[in-house]
């Protein structure tokens, strides 16, 4: 197995995009309880909701597998780079969920890995940690 953690110049850091996912109602009616404009953010491993914002449990279940891939840099021709709207899993529903990359955030391998020999203090226990 190749250890490519030295590709960062030896800092042990990597970056992930912060994401914002917001509800878009298209030209078809939403049959689930979706509120156009409701949103949440993804910071590292955390889903961050502002007060009063919500998302359907079923829509969230459809979105969750895609969010870690969308957090990472992808090649320009990869559909993960270009396609940003995910449909509600209910085939009768017109709602979509638009995923936007909003910023880049640096993380440390040692602060995020579960490998006991490589682990240091988790990033969320340090000052300035993502909310």
List contacts with Zn ion (CB under 5 A).
Answer: 32, 88, 90, 93, 95
CA 9 – CA 2 distance, rounded (Å): 16
Q: Which is nearer to Zn ion, 22 or 43 (CB)?
A: 22
Instruction: Tell me the closest approach of the beta carbon of residue 59 to Zn ion, in angstroms.
Output: 6
Q: How far is the CB of 13 from Zn ion (least distance, A)?
A: 38
Residue whose entry in the numeric block shows the structure tokens 């509120």: 35
Comparing CB distances to Zn ion, the nearer of 31 and 118 is 31
Closest CA to 15 of 69, 72, 64: 72
Which residue number, 54 or 120, has a Cβ lying nearer to Zn ion? 54
Q: Compute and round to an integer the Cα radius of gyration of the chain.
A: 17
Give the residue with the Cβ less far from Zn ion, 86 or 93.
93
Residue 79 CA, chain-centre distance (Å), reads 16
User: Least CB distance from residue 61 to Zn ion, whole Å?
Assistant: 12
Contacts of 130 (CB under 8 A, 6+ apart): 43, 44, 46, 105, 123, 124
Least spacing, CB of residue 95 vs Zn ion, in Å: 4
Show the tokens assigned to 89. 């899993």
């Amino acid at each position: 197995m190749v250890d490519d953690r030295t590709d960062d110049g030896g800092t042990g850091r990597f970056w992930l995009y912060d994401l914002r996912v917001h509800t878009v109602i298209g030209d078809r009616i939403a049959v689930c309880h979706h509120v156009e404009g409701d949103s949440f953010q993804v910071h590292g491993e955390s889903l961050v909701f502002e007060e009063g914002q919500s998302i359907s449990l079923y829509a969230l279940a459809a979105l969750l597998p895609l969010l870690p891939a969308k957090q990472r840099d992808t090649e320009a021709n990869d559909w993960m780079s270009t396609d940003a709207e995910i449909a509600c899993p209910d085939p009768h529903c017109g709602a979509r969920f638009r995923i936007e990359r909003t910023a880049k955030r640096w993380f440390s391998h040692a602060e995020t890995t579960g490998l006991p020999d490589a682990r240091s203090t988790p990033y969320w226990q340090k000052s300035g940690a993502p909310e």
